[in-house]
Amino acid sequence: MELFTVEFWIALASIIMIDLVLAGDNAIVIGMAARNIPKENQKKVIIWGTVGAFVIRAIATLLVVYLLNITGLRLIGGLALVYIAYKLLVEEKEEDNISASSQMWAAIRTIIIADAMMGLDNVLAVAGAAHGDFPLVVVGLAISIPIMVWCSTLILKLIERFPWIIALGSAILAWTAAKMIIEEPLIKAYFENGFIKYGFELIVIVLVVLIGLKVKKKNADAKAAKEITL
């Protein structure tokens, strides 16, 4: 595709819009993963996590034809995202004896893995809008990075002010995971009935949130009891 033609600008605008519309889940993951990192390192986690996700997304878009041929990819990605939704809900701030760099890289790793698992729909949409023009994909993703960083920073601030957003974010990620699982060609036929489809999505959300909150409370009680005995 030739640069700076009407076709180029339309395709670029489409890619940026797709990135932003589908970026909500990604911003939630980034904000939740960074919430337990020391404040002086949170910005670094957000930026490097977003950049890492961008690189993975660009590579995946280039390989999208091959990805479509991988049987069970959506199912594996959905199950992995269920675990990440639970993990982000349960995890608390690391103990002081764990190095800041270890905390940072653990959070960045979570962001990149989560984005890779749930970014398939985004990759397919972007690849379609770009009509096979990979440089255009890279430009569109690069433009969306600062907006993603801003959205993630905003979510992080909201989490600090309203802790219940953590559970809401986990529920949204669980819903995304359930939709990925349902769309897996190997089992999609079993979810053609609307009652089964939406019932499954609801069950996944409820289980992740309820189990996560229960484990989170149990861990908090154990930590409080330990501090009392010291």
Query: CA 80, CA 59: separation in Å to the nearest integer?
Result: 20
Nearest to 43 by CA among 154, 169, 166: 154
Please indicate whether residue 120 or residue 33 has the higher confidence score (pLDDT). Answer: 33
- Angle of helix 73-90 relative to helix 100-118, nearest 10 degrees, comes to 140
Query: CA 22, CA 127: separation in Å to the nearest integer?
Result: 14
- pTM, entire model: 0.69
Query: CA 146, CA 196: separation in Å to the nearest integer?
Result: 39
Residue 29 has pLDDT above 60, yes or no: yes
Nearest to 28 by CA among 143, 122, 115, 92: 115
For 43-87, what is each residue's pLDDT tens digit?
Answer: 888 888 888 877 887 777 777 656 656 788 778 878 888 888 898
- In whole numbers, what is the pLDDT of the chain averaged over residues? 78
Distances (CA, A) of 97 to 4, 34, 101, 125: 53, 18, 12, 44
Query: CA 52, CA 113: separation in Å to the nearest integer?
Result: 9
